[in-house]
A and B are shown apart, each in its own frame.
Chain A
Amino acid sequence: MSDLIKQTAAQMAAALADGTTTSVELTQAHLDRIAAVDGAIHAYLHVDGEGALAQAAASDARRSAGTPAGDLDGIPIAVKDVLATQGLPTTCGSKILEGWIPPYDATVVAKLKAAGLPILGKTNMDEFAMGSSTEHSAYGPTHNPWDLDRIPGGSGGGSAAAVAAFEAPFALGTDTGGSIRQPGAVTGTVGVKPTYGGVSRYGLVALANSLDQVGPVTRTVLDSALLHELIGGHDPRDSTSVDAPVPGLVAAATQGADGDLSGLKVGVIKELGGEGYQAGVQQRFQESVDHLVAMGAEVVEVSCPSFVHALAAYYLILPAEASSNLAKFDAMRYGLRVFPEGVDSPSAEEVMRASRDAGFGDEVKRRIILGTYALSSGYYDAYYGQAQKVRTLISRDFEAAFGQADVLLSPTAPTTAFKLGEKLDDPIAMYLNDLATIPANLAGVPGISLPSGLADEDGLPAGVQMLAPALADDRLYRVGAALEVALTEKWGGPLLDRAPDLTGASA
């Protein structure tokens, strides 16, 4: 493996700035890595080598002319396939969008392009971001670089695996109930779900509009801060985006790296731990808490009693919004069109039915049915209405908890990566994986997941999650960077150094 690709994005930015490497060299190195290992990982649904190299060459030209578009100009990136990319296929992991090439860029993609980041390709995901394992992709699962027989998390398993396997320095993900953070935890990478409204959703193919958020998938806290600052900020095309300046995230990460957390109050969420959480995950979590204490933080236990209802509320709100969002996939204007068998000159309605039947996978159909039911007249108040009330209660729990602590802490996911196929027939078991990440989406608060170490019983990565009040994303970077420094020192280097060498691997 080329040493070039093992660098962090921040290191690559420095190398580009001082001329020790070029964007073309960097981009080519990643394309080579993709060619070498992606057959085994399957992180990418589409690789755009030609396009990425052309953008890299343009970037190098800007550097030579002394007019780089920004600090990250020339660093290649991977983009989750749920974000619209003009001229590049965007399938959302679904057959129903096979072959669709958007005529426009998502705002975050436009920002990447404007800042000069070559786009390596589009990463795999559970169909329409519904899942926690990437097994619900219509194009086959992604494999965890730590163990190819295991899941890389989901729905953004492709972005996390690409970053963990050095197939990209960093990537964009989206997080509706944990789709950035849980894959981060099980692949030993860093992932951030920004405050709801902190990053534009324009061009993000909505799963659940009131929960979705775009965020960074990286190998370090600082890299997340760099990417988050780039994509964040108000977008007039997204009415729900916050019209306020992005707080200084890179500055917060730099400050946190000093390792002084005196005066900081950390709240450990009582309800997100204990029963159902793997022993090794709990152990690594406790060590992270101890590190924070060692750096001067005060730790308190906080209770969020409504969190026990979060999963139930989430699985009413999400399917309700999704059932409506997915109605537009009707074969009339774009995407898959299937004609019903044995029907002469079928009606538009019959074509819609046949296309949706053929184009959507089982998990998508399951949630469309759930959501349609939850919104139906006579059930609305009992299901959707009730779920919205739970949502309010969860927000109040957060408010109360943030009255006691600056940041809240929990394990990101209850277990390390499970085996491919293990939970495919048990949707509830699959849903339980997002138990700890869902409350942040329901309340709109930001969260980060970073590696807490390897669980003793299986040697696989575990993650620690930190949550902050809305618009206080900078706290996550400060505390995250501090913990990262302490843990990296303990490990004697980045956790990913312990991941298997994938050269010659095959799935």
Chain B
Amino acid sequence: MSTAAEVTLVDFDDVLASYDPAMGLEVHVELNTVTKMFCGCPTEFGAEPNTQVCPTCLGLPGAMPVVNAKAVESAIRIGLALNCEIAEWCRFARKNYFYPDMPKNFQTSQYDEPIAFEGFMDVDIPLEGGGTETFRVEIERAHMEEDTGKSLHVGGATGRIHGADHSLVDYNRAGIPLIEIVTKPIMGSREKAPAIAKAYVAQLRELIVALGVSDARMDQGSIRADVNLSLAPKDQGGLGTRSETKNVNSLRSVERAVRYEMQRHAGILDAGGSILQETRHWHEDTGITTSGREKSDAEDYRYFPEPDLVPVAPSREWVEELRATMPENPTVKKARLQAEWGFTDLEMRDTVGAGAFGLVEETIAAGATPQSARKWWLSDMARRANESGTDIADLGVSPAQVAEVQALVDAKTINDKLARQVFDGLIAGEGTPEEIIAARGLAVVSDDGALGAAVDVAIAANPDVADKIRDGKVAAAGALIGAVMKEMKGQADAARVRELILERLA
């Protein structure tokens, strides 16, 4: 295994001076169908291990698959949203290889007959100094397949297979429907390669959310990206040898992984070396990739059509019906929502530029007002993302949670300041907003008894301020409110405090 110490990273600008990057992005989307791809088992995330299994998804001898029609529908809708052709007739194929978490030792997938093919997505890349530029990413195919089980390696320090005493396999995930979306080689991206990769995955995620076909949680693995990257000598065309970095599970990591691999490849090529065609692992914590298994042309999956399934032949009428359910064109949609939300052009551009458009939309859909949704995402969340070097969508706070917290503010259970502490708790994984409020004791005090006592203390401690208020200088109340809030450690309803002060000093 190669280590960071052996790797020479070339400065990013120097990479671009000598090489042109080419990327290929493979994104796996776990569908949110109620049942699995080929059996009736539930797909709910987080159940006790091996409780959502049956003879079919366990690969027991004699069991047979049956295609989940809803998954086919979702696949077609994703294909249509990516401007793909939809196959009139296609088959599943077996991808044969041995792995302990794969029940049948073959994955039922699609090979040369994908359900959707030849599409594109126009990706908006933020420009420095505001605004965006559009880059077209061409889609080669989107195909249906089943997920594998999940191995848990016990006894090793890192949860990795090396050094583990034994391994446990949870087959709940085995057979969950996946759509794999594969781009054509993305050429001509140059210095924008990392940004395009990130924007593509981000926009794809928004699209998946809009279609409602997946939970689209990168942190739970319901969207997983593999990044293929190669470098070719500058301006000479052609494709170099690629590395495939697996399971890059946040938007920011997609960007970083592309950048890192460009720098790593250049280091090897500059030294006269050649790139090994291999799978690499991305390490979120250290921001590097390490060698996985070597993936040469010798790897042979012996694909052949799945003989236990009949071909999938979606009728043209059905495809057209599904086309009619497509979410609207993103540009039209942005204009419509800007008017609906009452955002200024600047507010709108900031929202899109911060990668928060979809998040704001979802937050509003979950019940928050447009301005409160914008406020949380563009001030508080954007700051947190910036400080922690995380993408705003990867913070660990969902739009529904933002709306929930805002509702608690509206109900005067908490105030804005306490709300920030609730977000701290959410990011730290302390539970639901309600649980965090209870555990951290965050609720505001609006009980007149306790507040009144604090107000009396503040008045007694600041007689000159009290006199001014008695003289009609109501604006001076701010100083007393500040004193009370300090006394109450911020957990007071400021409006009520003001009322109590004015009542007492009337």
A261 to chain B, nearest CB (A): 36
CA distance A502 to B64 in the complex (A): 41
Give the residue name and chain of the A residue nearest to B309 (CB).
Answer: A239
Contact A380–B310 (Cβ < 8 Å): no
A327 to chain B, nearest CB (A): 4
Q: Per a CB cutoff under 8 Å, which of A104, A324, A330, A332 touches B304?
A: A324
Contact B66–A328 (Cβ < 8 Å): no
Contact B65–A239 (Cβ < 8 Å): yes
Contact B66–A239 (Cβ < 8 Å): yes
- In the complex, chain A residues 208-244 whose Cβ is within 8 Å of any chain B Cβ: 208-210, 236-240
- In the complex, chain A residues 311-335 whose Cβ is within 8 Å of any chain B Cβ: 320-321, 323-324, 327-330, 332-334
- In the complex, chain A residues 38-57 whose Cβ is within 8 Å of any chain B Cβ: none
Q: Which of B64, B65, B104, B106 has the most CB of A within 10 A?
A: B64
B307 CB-CB contact with A under 8 Å: yes
Q: Per a CB cutoff under 8 Å, which of A102, A320, A376, A377 touches B61?
A: A102
B308 CB-CB contact with A under 8 Å: yes
Interface string of B332-363 (1 = CB under 8 A from A): 00000000000000000000000000000000
B127 CB-CB contact with A under 8 Å: no
- In the complex, chain A residues 186-222 whose Cβ is within 8 Å of any chain B Cβ: 201-206, 208-210
B103 CB-CB contact with A under 8 Å: yes
A100 CB-CB contact with B under 8 Å: yes
- In the complex, chain B residues 403-456 whose Cβ is within 8 Å of any chain A Cβ: none
B4 CB-CB contact with A under 8 Å: no
A180 to chain B, nearest CB (A): 18
Give the residue name and chain of the B residue nearest to A90 (CB).
Answer: B61
Contact A239–B300 (Cβ < 8 Å): no
CA distance A97 to B61 in the complex (A): 9
Contact A84–B64 (Cβ < 8 Å): no
Interface locus among B21-29, B52-60, B213-221: B52-60
Q: Per a CB cutoff under 8 Å, which of A102, A104, A209, A237 touches B307?
A: A209
Contact B302–A103 (Cβ < 8 Å): no
Contact A330–B62 (Cβ < 8 Å): no
- In the complex, chain A residues 374-419 whose Cβ is within 8 Å of any chain B Cβ: 375-377, 380, 384
A206-B308, A240-B310, A328-B105 known; A100 vs B61 contact (CB < 8 Å): yes
A324-B302, A327-B105 known; A205 vs B64 contact (CB < 8 Å): no
- In the complex, chain A residues 240-283 whose Cβ is within 8 Å of any chain B Cβ: 240
Contact A334–B308 (Cβ < 8 Å): no
Contact B60–A376 (Cβ < 8 Å): no
A286 to chain B, nearest CB (A): 38
Interface locus among B72-80, B92-100, B132-140, B237-245: B92-100
Contact A206–B96 (Cβ < 8 Å): no
**A104: which B residues are within 8 A, CB to CB?**
55, 60, 63
What is the number of residues of chain A that contact chain B, defined by CB distance less than 8 Å? 44
**A83: which B residues are within 8 A, CB to CB?**
62
Contact A332–B169 (Cβ < 8 Å): yes
A161 CB-CB contact with B under 8 Å: no
Contact B67–A327 (Cβ < 8 Å): no
In the complex, the number of residue pairs spanning A and B with C-beta atoms less than 8 Å apart equals: 101
Contact B61–A327 (Cβ < 8 Å): no
Contact A210–B307 (Cβ < 8 Å): yes
Q: Per a CB cutoff under 8 Å, which of B64, B103, B309 touches A237?
A: B64
A309 to chain B, nearest CB (A): 20
B432 to chain A, nearest CB (A): 37
CA distance A71 to B65 in the complex (A): 32
A92 CB-CB contact with B under 8 Å: yes
B462 CB-CB contact with A under 8 Å: no
Contact A236–B66 (Cβ < 8 Å): yes
Contact B60–A377 (Cβ < 8 Å): no
- In the complex, chain B residues 293-313 whose Cβ is within 8 Å of any chain A Cβ: 300, 302-304, 307-310
A154 to chain B, nearest CB (A): 19
**B67: which A residues are within 8 A, CB to CB?**
239
A205-B61, A330-B105 known; A240 vs B308 contact (CB < 8 Å): yes
B18 CB-CB contact with A under 8 Å: no
A377-B300, A384-B304 known; A330 vs B98 contact (CB < 8 Å): yes
B167 CB-CB contact with A under 8 Å: yes
Contact B61–A103 (Cβ < 8 Å): no
14 A-B interface contacts by CB (under 8 A)? A100-B61, A103-B60, A204-B62, A209-B308, A238-B64, A238-B66, A324-B94, A327-B98, A327-B104, A328-B105, A329-B61, A334-B60, A352-B100, A380-B302
List chain B positions with a Cβ less than 8 A from chain A: 55, 58-67, 94, 96, 98, 100, 103-106, 167, 169, 300, 302-304, 307-310
What 10 new A-B contacts, CB under 8 Å, besides A106-B62, A352-B100? A90-B62, A237-B64, A238-B66, A239-B64, A240-B309, A321-B307, A323-B96, A330-B98, A332-B100, A348-B100
